[in-house]
Structure 1
Amino acid sequence: MTTSQAHLNRRHLIGGLSGLALAPWSATGFATGKEIVVGQVASLSGSNGADLGQGLKAGVEACFLAVNTAGGIRGQTVKLVSKDDRYLPEETVNLTRELIVQERPAALIAYRGTANTMALIKSELLVKHGVTLVGTLTGAKEVQGAAGLLNLRTSYERELAELVGQIQRMILDTVAVLYADDAFGRTGLEAIEQAAVANGSKLLAKVPYDKAPDKVDASLNAAAKQLAAAGAKAVILVAVGDPVYAFIKAFRPLNQASRIFCMSVVDPAAVVKRCGVNVAAGIGFSQVYPFPYSDKTNLVREYRRALARLPNAPEPNYFSLEGYVYARVLVEALKRAPDSPAEVQVSNALMNLPAIDFGGLRMQIDPQTRNGMRYTDLTVLTRQGRLVG
């Protein structure tokens, strides 16, 4: 079910990158003895997918620990400074401004959220300070090609087109959608509407839910009743965090027949934990990074080794793998940056990276979208609560 990237125009792959994060580099370039500071602002607490921000942070830290243990970059250690925006767009902007002024990071990394990223872009902080954000966990079309952003996540348009196409191939030709009434939800709904037309699927219902704390429960219960009555063969959730679990638990007793599909922003393990194995069985998940639970590829083997070295090492998941890849890309740019570089020189190094083969995942920066990823996959939870591809 993995979508090949064979149609990419350039085949200019970097040899030997699979050992990049574990090998020391020559003592030229950055001044020996200095720290290279990298900044992150993401949701590390709250009910709207804090596990995503925590996973991204763990993956970045795992990569940096591996680099530092091997001697750093030309003798310098890489330090991650993280701040918690609680998934609030205004806090994303405020904390980024504070971080840039106080820490002067060489780059930013591993943000998340459509509205959060859009608020940061609108603030023009990235352009004003010449600093690049390496990776943000959103595939919204509004962030594609934004100045100051190197996007390392498959677009929602492509992710959802592949998901709707896979649903159609499973002979599930009627679709309904639950979507968050926010920038993330609306951009996902638009992508599903376009994909449904392209694939010949019939969109029976599209129901928003209100994220406001005093309205969300009633809104989800009403949406569950409406979507259960629609009788679509597939129900796609453009949702994240606690609302996903609440909807599934409300919907399933009302409708046992419809198949539920979540996007890559939802953690399958959390669905099993919060909804129970029986309720979670059969739920599908689109994915935009390789399967992180086995050692089939060089990338995943290296990621799992690096993650295991962290204090209180978390279990592998898609989000820490994504953060790890973000960090690997940044490390390659830092390695290529000139002596004592300013932020803008790191940004130039990032945007001029050639294609990279990580050993199971390829990155090729598109100069128009400033996006380096096109990978898609589909996974499903078994009756035992195991995720399979």
Structure 2
Amino acid sequence: MKLISFPGSVLATVLIGLASFSAHAADIVVGQVAAFSGPLAPTGTHMRAGAQLYFDAVNAAGGIHGAKIRLLSKDDGYKTEETIRLARELLKEAQPVAFFGFVGTGNVEAILENKVLSEAGIPLVAVRTGAASVVQRNDPLLFMTRASYAAEVQKIVDQYATTGYSSFAILYQDDAFGRDVLGSAEAAIKEAGGRLVATGSYAKNTTDVGAAVKTIAAAKPQAVIMIANTAASSEFLKQSREDGNFAQYVALSVTDAAQVVKRIGADKAAGLVLTQVVPDPNSPTVPLIKEIQHNFAKFKPKDVTANHTFVEGYLGAKVLAEALRRAGPNPTRQKVREALESMKNYDAGEVFISFSANRHTGSRYVDITILNQAGKLLR
């Protein structure tokens, strides 16, 4: 066998290249497909930014078993067919060990129904949905780090039924997400002895809520539950206020308070009640939030605020990173899945996550907040 010799400079270049390749190959790749354009762009952007902040902190501290986490994200524009196509593209191009932070009930359902996860054997962690249709599947590869929409709706109805509210109306997005939560809301209202006096819908990826505004206003409900994204919730609230309908408006956690204020102004947003599935990002007494505030100041993410969606992304990333630690060096998709199922009362900073083989909805945390006249959230 003939040995090939290199001049010193060439050999150094080869060795540097090999070292660079080795370091790159050791990265732990996490893939995300979410909305970074369209009406849900703020949701996808803040989910990603929250996750990236946690991964930045982990990487700066040496990574996971010496390996850095690399988050690769693709924009599906909140379109289900794009979610499927781009997820398969990521699997082929980057071979991620896990998926993270997909956005939308219909989008997640499409991933499950088209067997994208099962064919690749890849876990998906921290999706932005809490729909019963997704929760009840208990898919072996899907791990949710937020409470269900049914739990949010139950919190709303319980809160208002116990304070004398009896007539409710519902605005919902006319798709898998909206129709799913509509069913949960109807059941909760009936169980509480209330009356559903009107429903109104709008088409996904639009803010065409005019007809729903008129239908619901005509029924004169005491409270209106909005099963809608931020853009549609904002437009519905704006038009309702302008039409003189001053019922109590309550939105699920998929509506971002700061974005509502930005879109329609603090005067029209004042009094809007929102459920939350993570702690208040301005509460430094909660260890998770204190940690986020510290890392936000240290790594200075651009063009985002540390809102509830940001916290949700950070929390989900922290749960995934803990699974990667438990999976050991050179984690596989199967080892990550097994590590996730081993989590029992994992303390992410006074927010506790529990999974098992039979339960993949890891959190029950639900809180209620309200926007004041200055556009600030209060508990």
Superposed pair shares fold, TM > 0.5: yes
Kept after mapping to 1: 8 A contact 2:275/2:366 = yes
Paired letter, 1:336? R
1:177 to 162, 170, 173: 170
Specify the alignment match of 1:141 in structure 2. 132
User: What is the match of residue 353 of structure 1?
Assistant: 343
Q: Specify the alignment match of 2:109 in structure 1.
A: 118
Equivalent residue in structure 1 for 2:307, among 313, 317, 321:
317
Q: Is the 8 A contact 1:32 1:75 kept in 2?
A: no
Would you say the 8 A contact 1:58–1:307 is kept in 2?
Answer: no
Moved over 6 A (4+): none
TM-score by length of 2: 0.90
Letter in 1 for 2:115: E
Q: 1:167 Cα shift?
A: 1.6
State the AA in 1 paired with 2:34.
A
Q: Say which of 55, 60, 68 aligns to 1:69.
A: 60
Aligned residue number for residue 30 of structure 2: 38
Q: Which runs of 5+ in 2 are unaligned?
A: 1-21
What residue is the counterpart of 1:200 in the other structure? 193
Could you say which residue in structure 2 is the equivalent of 1:152? Answer: 145
Query: Counterparts of 1:311 and 1:243 in 2: how far apart (Å)?
Result: 27
Q: Which amino acid aligns with 1:278?
A: D
The offset of 1:61, in angstroms, is 0.2
Identity %: 38
Structure 1 SS opposite 2:281: coil
From 367, 371, 381, give the equivalent of 2:371.
381
Q: Deviations over 1:289-346 (max 9, x none)?
A: 1111221211101012223314426221011101111111111111111342322122
User: Which structure 2 residues correspond to residues 88-127 of structure 1 after superposition, within 5 A?
Assistant: 88-127=79-118
Paired residue type of 2:85 = N
Deviation string for 1:117-169 (max 9, x for gaps)? 00000111111111100110100111120231011111111111111111212
Q: Distance in 2 between matches of 1:32 and 1:116?
A: 34
C-alpha contact (below 8 Å) 1:177/1:207 kept by paired residues: yes
Q: What code does the residue aligned with 1:65 have? A: D
Shift of 1:368: 2.6
Q: Verify the 8 A CA contact 2:230 2:259 in the aligned structure 1.
A: no
Q: Which runs of structure 2 are paired with 1:1-389 in the superposition (5 Å)?
A: 34-47=26-39, 49-144=40-135, 145-211=138-204, 217=208, 220-308=209-297, 309-312=299-302, 314-389=304-379
- Check 1:78–1:275 CA distance in 2 against 1; reply closer, same or farther (3 A cut): same
CA distance in 1, matches of 2:372, 2:365: 23
Could you tell me how far 1:366 is from its partner in structure 2?
4.7
Deviates more, 1:337-346 or 1:130-139: 337-346
Rounded to whole Å, the distance in 2 between the matches of 1:241 and 1:253 is 18
Relative to structure 1, the CA distance from residue 209 to residue 313 in structure 2 (aligned partners, 3 Å threshold; closer, same or farther) is closer
Higher relative contact order (CA 8 A, sep 6+): 1
- Aligned in 2, Cα 1:252/1:372: closer, same or farther, shift over 3 Å? same
Return the alpha-carbon distance in structure 2 between the equivalents of residues 36 and 109 of structure 1: 13
**Take 1:37 and 1:318, find their aligned partners in 2: how far apart are those partners?**
25
Q: Report the secondary structure of 1:111's partner residue.
A: coil
Assess if the C-alpha contact under 8 Å between 1:307 and 1:313 holds in 2: no
Question: Match of 2:313, SS?
Answer: helix
CA distance in 1, matches of 2:248, 2:145: 29
Count how many residue pairs are aligned between Structure 1 and Structure 2: 354
Is the contact made by 1:179 and 1:186 (CA closer than 8 Å) also made in structure 2? yes
Q: Distance in 2 between matches of 1:184 and 1:354?
A: 29
CA offset digits 1:183-230 (Å, max 9, x no partner): 1110111010011012111111112223365xx53xx11111111111
Aligned-pair CA distance for 1:37? 0.5
Q: Does the CA contact (< 8 Å) of 1:41 and 1:92 recur in 2? A: yes
Q: Distance in 2 between matches of 1:288 and 1:183?
A: 20
Q: 1:136 aligns to what SS in structure 2?
A: coil
- Give the drift of 1:32: 7.0
Contiguous gaps of at least 5 residues in structure 1: 1-30
Alignment-derived partner of residue 12 in structure 2 = none
2:8 counterpart residue number: none
TM-score after normalising by structure 1 = 0.88
| Preserved contact between residue 109 and residue 136 of structure 1 (Cα < 8 Å) | yes
Aligned partners of 1:140 and 1:187 also within 8 Å:
yes
Pick closer, same or farther for the CA change 1:62–1:238 going to 2, 3 Å.
same
- Whether the 8 Å contact between 2:49 and 2:301 is mirrored in structure 1 is no
Give the RMSD, CA atoms, in angstroms. Answer: 1.6
